């Protein structure tokens, strides 16, 4: 069973060109399913998995208190995996084909307000040394470019084209996109790269962001930096890198950004993923209406 999961991971990496984080998520979900089938039903081959067994796995996940959204992600992993097994001739029947995803409530993304981002930019929280300049550049690259954590980690010095004022981002599926760098962010990056150069030196293929010891930054480090500084200006429960990405998208949407342009900036493959940010704009319009329209308080 493990060998089949390994084959699936290679398929994800080399054919679908999935990110390492995506592959790791699939691996975690499928290993959990494999252990469940082995311990509960003594299933030692994927072709012995049955519809009722997968259903009981979902029930088990629900009883353990996992949210419907999390369970749906695990079910999606299983669906993709069993479709792969069918194509490889390892199964005669898909045990998850008739299992539907669970209902979930619509969830608006968590974001910081523009005033809070401005407060963070103008604060004296960032020290004047390499570490402080790096932390500020890291935070405002995520917010100013709207990029994902993995995309930030993947940036190279050569990704930044100062002449054109753009940063080339390598997104999901190895798709590249150019994101404009506004003047305020250019100053932050320039200060950081100056200290980077004097402290460590760098080549065009050097990583854009490094630790104090010169090694490449890693996901948990990025999360800790963002959470540390966002906590000083916001009481949001979620204060990770994705909150900054959501803030970028929400602020642009509120200012009237074209949804197709926003889709391109975020690197979304479809408009469906981008449209969630229009909800915030509608809520803002509703508040303005309530405050200003003479008939808004009519019963």
Q: Is 239 a catalytic residue?
A: no
Residue 105: per-residue pLDDT = 60
Catalytic residue among 134, 245, 251, 263: 245
φ and ψ at residue 5, rounded to 5 degrees: -60, -40
Catalytic residue among 148, 149, 246, 263: 148
C-alpha 261/C-alpha 86 separation (Å) is 39
Q: Is 148 a catalytic residue?
A: yes
Residue 286: per-residue pLDDT = 55
Q: Is 16 a catalytic residue?
A: no
**Which CATH class for the 2-87 domain?**
mainly alpha
Q: Is 134 a catalytic residue?
A: no
Residue 299: per-residue pLDDT = 43
Residue 215: per-residue pLDDT = 96
Residue 250: per-residue pLDDT = 85
Identify the CATH number of the domain defined by range 114-288.
1.10.443.10
Residue 188: per-residue pLDDT = 96
Catalytic residue among 7, 172, 177, 279: 172
Q: Is 279 a catalytic residue?
A: no
**pLDDT tens across the length of the chain (299 residues):** 888 999 999 999 888 888 888 899 999 999 999 999 999 999 888 988 898 999 999 999 999 888 888 999 999 999 999 999 999 998 888 898 888 888 766 555 677 888 888 888 888 899 999 999 999 999 999 999 999 999 999 999 999 999 999 999 998 888 899 999 999 999 999 999 999 999 999 999 999 999 999 999 999 999 999 999 998 888 777 788 988 988 888 888 878 888 888 888 888 877 777 777 765 555 555 555 566 655 555 54
Q: What is the Rg, in whole angstroms, of the alpha carbon atoms belonging to the chain? A: 23
Domain boundaries in the chain? Answer: 2-87, 114-288
Catalytic residue among 16, 113, 156, 268: 268
Provide the whole-model pTM. Answer: 0.64
Q: Is 55 a catalytic residue?
A: no
């Amino acid at each position: 069973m493990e060998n089949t999961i390994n084959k699936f991971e290679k398929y994800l990496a080399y054919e679908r060109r999935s990110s390492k984080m995506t592959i790791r998520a699939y691996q975690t979900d499928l290993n959990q399913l494999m252990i469940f089938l082995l311990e509960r039903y003594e299933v030692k081959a994927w072709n012995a998995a049955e519809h009722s067994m997968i259903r009981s796995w979902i029930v088990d996940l629900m009883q353990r208190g996992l949210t419907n959204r999390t369970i749906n992600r695990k079910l999606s992993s299983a669906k993709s995996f069993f479709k792969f097994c069918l194509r490889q001739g390892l199964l005669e029947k898909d045990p998850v084909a008739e299992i539907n995803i669970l209902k979930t409530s619509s969830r608006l993304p968590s974001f910081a307000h523009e005033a809070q981002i401005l407060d963070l930019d103008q604060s004296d929280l960032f020290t004047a040394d390499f570490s402080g300049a790096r932390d500020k550049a890291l935070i405002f690259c995520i917010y100013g470019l709207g990029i994902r954590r993995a995309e930030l980690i993947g940036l190279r010095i050569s990704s930044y084209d100062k002449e054109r004022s753009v940063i080339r981002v390598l997104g999901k599926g190895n798709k590249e996109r150019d994101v404009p760098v506004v003047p305020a962010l250019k100053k932050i990056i320039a200060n950081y790269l100056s200290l980077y150069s004097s402290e460590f030196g760098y080549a065009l293929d050097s990583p854009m962001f490094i630790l104090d010891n010169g090694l490449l930054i890693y996901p948990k480090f990025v999360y800790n930096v963002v959470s540390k500084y966002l906590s000083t200006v916001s009481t949001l429960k979620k204060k990770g890198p994705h909150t900054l990405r959501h803030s970028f998208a929400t602020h642009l949407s509120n200012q009237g950004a074209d949804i197709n342009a926003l889709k391109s900036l975020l690197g979304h493959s479809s408009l469906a993923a981008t449209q969630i940010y229009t909800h915030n704009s509608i809520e803002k319009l509703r508040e303005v209406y309530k405050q200003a329209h003479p008939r808004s308080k009519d019963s």
